[in-house]
Amino acid sequence: MPSYADLNPFISTSVGENELWNAAAFLDVPYIHSVQSGTLRIAVDQVRAQHRSQVRFVRGAGGSGKSHLFSRLRRECADSIFYAYAPNPPLQPEALENFILTRVVGSMRHPARSKEGREAPYSQLRLLAYALLKPVVEQNFTFPQLHEAWAGIRLETRKDLIHHAIQLLEAEHPMVPRSVLRCLLNVLRDDKEHLAAQWLSGAAYLTENELKFLGVPEPLARAEMGGVIQLFGKLASQVGSPVVLVLDQLDLVVTQPQFDEMQRLLFALIDQSENWVVLIGLVVERFAAWDAALSQALRGRVGVPDSNAPLGFRLPVIDMLPIANEQKRLLLNCRLETPALIALRQNDGITSAIHPLLDEDVARLTTGGAIFPRHLLAAAAEAYAMRTTTSALPPEIVAAVAAQPVPAAITPVAVSVVDEENDFPVLAAIPMPTPAPPRPLPPPAALSGSKTSLAQKVDALLQQAISAAKADTSSPSAIDLGERARDLIDLMVAPPVTISEGDIHKTYDNFDGSDRWFEWGGGKVRIVTSDSMRGSFIAVLERIKEACGDTLLLRNDIAPVSGQLTMELLNAFKAKNTFHHIPAAEAAILAALARILAAQREGSYDQFATEPPATKDNVLAALRAHPLLRELKLWDMIQKVQAPKQAPPGPHQSSVLSSIIRPPAPPMAKPPVIPNAGLSAVPGAKPPPPPAYTGAIKPLARPPSAPISKPIAKPPAPPMMKPPTGVARPPMSKLPPPSQGNAA
């Protein structure tokens, strides 16, 4: 059985995607932020009744509970909504629509929920397809009953029903391409569901055989992606369930082009689609930028008339407020009542419902000014760790702690009145007895060993994020891969790093990936990502074929490379540059890094009790030193391509003949040169003339001890004559080497 130290219920202080989709037990205190939850449910009910899309901004500090609120909404609304979660959008404005589509389809591949809140045996995407099929079946089935009945229908009957459903959809949505409707209903085929979902998400890496199997001519075009997003809203309105789209972790949306593209998307969901509830989670600083950047046209569609607000409309904002003392106690009790802790207490015969914490720990944690939930959980995690690691301290410390008097009960503190409206203590007017001293904790010096190492904490966070990335059903796109490469460079490289866009987007409208230049430290690297197939990938290779050693082409491992022309172009590119097929394991590490960096920017780790403290710089330094990132193959390739190139050595100035006549001196010290030392015995002797040129170079014989007293003139060049017509030119290897034009 695990020890109490292994069951610290306060370790998890935030709700990530793994908890959002995969957490079986959702620890929740409905009393906390109940007003905000009610406001969101009212917006959902209004959209369900009117089908008119609405937007809400959820504003709060890091750790205030925004992600928890979004997760609670998904569970409380059960089967009455379609839910999509799209955090951390890309920096490229033109990639936003593709990103939203990928996230919507990926989210809808998660299980639907029953009215009781349990996961259904089918996905949200299949539920949408069942809703489209239901009019064709012409029987009053519930969706669970239709799911069971569909499993017993013969394959030929299924094909006929899907065909009739496509005809019905074409009549109702004549502007939607037939391939979109076909793939939407192909989700009902067990053998085609996965491929159909990938096609609907805009995947460009499907092979010709896979496209033929789906019955579509080509991947989803970029120009059609916005129409698919709008179609989801219209079809969901026929089911009677709004689509809740959560846009979270938007801290990198800071430029006006990004705001303009985000507004264009919102306009489309409001004016050209229906049935959307768009929830935008922002920290306070980022909301101020949004409030200043949104146009009057959009504010008029989503806002509330207010003469005192900018441009006459106030944005609909839901503020996440700090929690008061009673809410703190409820949150602590909720965490301390986990089944594993209850079982361990029963096994040890302990009746205290807060063990291993003591009453004074709870009193200290719940007294004082209001704070946000994550801050409270971080402080409680530290107190819990102190109590469970006391037995591991030196005996003298344990003895000193045990010798302190412990009161039988906690005496009320001198502050007896709390202003509930403002949530701060007010001193009473009457004298109060002095409180009994609580059991002191060991001195900080003794407890320093109980703090978790920041490196260990970061490693645990990274491993958890990797597991969550591997469990993600959505496949990463080439745009995602480009963003992950940028994340890696931003982390590993000391600033400044200059980032500029390449030109593929300007010359190729259907480009599916990213093209960026990164410059730092005197070198530069161009990173191009693409998962497209056939002609689209050939078009990308044609645009980078002139690269001269400074380009790194990245491609997800799920996107194969085939075709004679494609391989010829790729091999020609690899002759000078670098190509990397990213495997799934490496892609999971990059996705995990993105989640940690996004959580860091949100302030998710600020309250961790670690050594050293979990400041932004310390967390980034721990990530930078992590072996999984430092030894990443992608990072090694980036460094090699980016390394400043050495200038090629200049041509040697001495002629080949002179280098043979005067070989380089040996590595030992040179003896002094005595003029005419080898000829002094013969008065008036002259050096022999050079041999006549015979078309081949032979070394000249001379005594090894007879150095040359002066330079030897260059032999005359033989006359140049054109070979007679029809006579083959001699091979280059037999021609004499050209002279360099300098005498030795």
Burial of 87 (0-12, 13-18, 19+ CB in 10 A): buried
pLDDT score of 113: 86
Beta bridge partners of 501: 516
Query: Within a 10 A sphere around the Cβ of 653, how many other Cβ atoms?
Result: 8
Average pLDDT on 373-398 reads: 75
| Beta strand 276-282 pairing with 111-113 | unpaired
Q: Per-residue pLDDT tens for 472-502?
A: 777 788 999 999 999 999 999 998 999 999 9
Q: Per-residue pLDDT tens for 78-117?
A: 889 999 999 999 988 989 999 999 999 999 999 998 887 7
Q: Which residues contact 172 (CB under 8 A, 6 or more apart)?
A: none
pLDDT score of 319: 96
With bands split at pLDDT 50, 70 and 90, how would you rate the model's confidence at 333?
very high
Helices 284-293 and 256-267 pack at an angle, to 10 degrees, of: 70
Average pLDDT on 636-660 reads: 68
Report yes or no: 190 and 143 within 8 Å, Cβ to Cβ. no
Distance CA(484)–CA(469), nearest Å, equals: 13
683 versus 224: which is more confidently predicted? Answer: 224
E runs forming strands in 530-678: 551-556, 578-582, 610-611
| pLDDT of 652 strictly over 70 | no
Q: Per-residue pLDDT tens for 507-553?
A: 998 899 999 999 999 999 999 999 999 899 999 999 999 999 999 99
Distance CA(660)–CA(667), nearest Å, equals: 17
Average pLDDT on 244-249 reads: 94
Least confident of 175-179, 369-373, 408-412, 556-560: 408-412
Distance CA(270)–CA(300), nearest Å, equals: 12
With bands split at pLDDT 50, 70 and 90, how would you rate the model's confidence at 440?
very low
Beta bridge partners of 515: 528
Least confident of 125-134, 253-262, 400-409, 527-536: 400-409
**Tokens encoding 520:** 């730092």
Distance CA(114)–CA(238), nearest Å, equals: 18
Is pTM beyond 0.85? Reply is: no
With bands split at pLDDT 50, 70 and 90, how would you rate the model's confidence at 17?
confident
| pLDDT of 698 strictly over 60 | no
**Tokens encoding 147:** 């799911």
Distance CA(529)–CA(578), nearest Å, equals: 12
pLDDT score of 634: 97
* DSSP state letter for 418: E
**What are the residue boundaries of the structural domains of the chain, listed by start?**
31-282+297-319, 324-450, 455-642
533 versus 675: which is more confidently predicted? Answer: 533
Of 684, 683, 700, the C-alpha closest to 692 is: 700
Least confident of 264-273, 305-314, 335-344: 305-314
Query: Does domain 31-282+297-319 correspond to CATH entry 3.30.2290.10?
Result: no
Distances, alpha carbon 290 to alpha carbons 254, 267, 332, in Å: 8, 15, 35
Report yes or no: 557 and 581 within 8 Å, Cβ to Cβ. yes
Report yes or no: 120 and 114 within 8 Å, Cβ to Cβ. yes
Least confident of 23-27, 45-49, 388-392: 388-392
With bands split at pLDDT 50, 70 and 90, how would you rate the model's confidence at 295?
very high
Helices 124-137 and 96-108 pack at an angle, to 10 degrees, of: 70
| pLDDT of 421 strictly over 60 | no
Distances, alpha carbon 477 to alpha carbons 55, 56, 204, 532, 723, in Å: 27, 28, 8, 10, 61
| pLDDT of 469 strictly over 70 | yes
| pLDDT of 392 strictly over 50 | no
Percent of the chain scored above 90 by pLDDT?
51
**Tokens encoding 204:** 């460009």
- Provide the b/e sequence for 559-581 (b: ≥16 CB within 10 Å): beeebeebeebbeebeeebbbbe
656 versus 326: which is more confidently predicted? Answer: 326
Distance CA(547)–CA(502), nearest Å, equals: 12
pLDDT score of 706: 45
Helix (H, G, I), strand (E, B) or coil at 659: helix
Percent of the chain scored above 70 by pLDDT?
78
Distance CA(616)–CA(605), nearest Å, equals: 8
**Tokens encoding 46:** 């209004």
Burial of 1 (0-12, 13-18, 19+ CB in 10 A): exposed
| pLDDT of 412 strictly over 80 | no
Of 568, 259, 629, 539, the C-alpha closest to 528 is: 539
450 versus 313: which is more confidently predicted? Answer: 313
Helix (H, G, I), strand (E, B) or coil at 310: helix
Of 647, 644, 642, the C-alpha closest to 552 is: 642
pLDDT score of 684: 46
pLDDT score of 699: 44
Distance CA(386)–CA(382), nearest Å, equals: 6
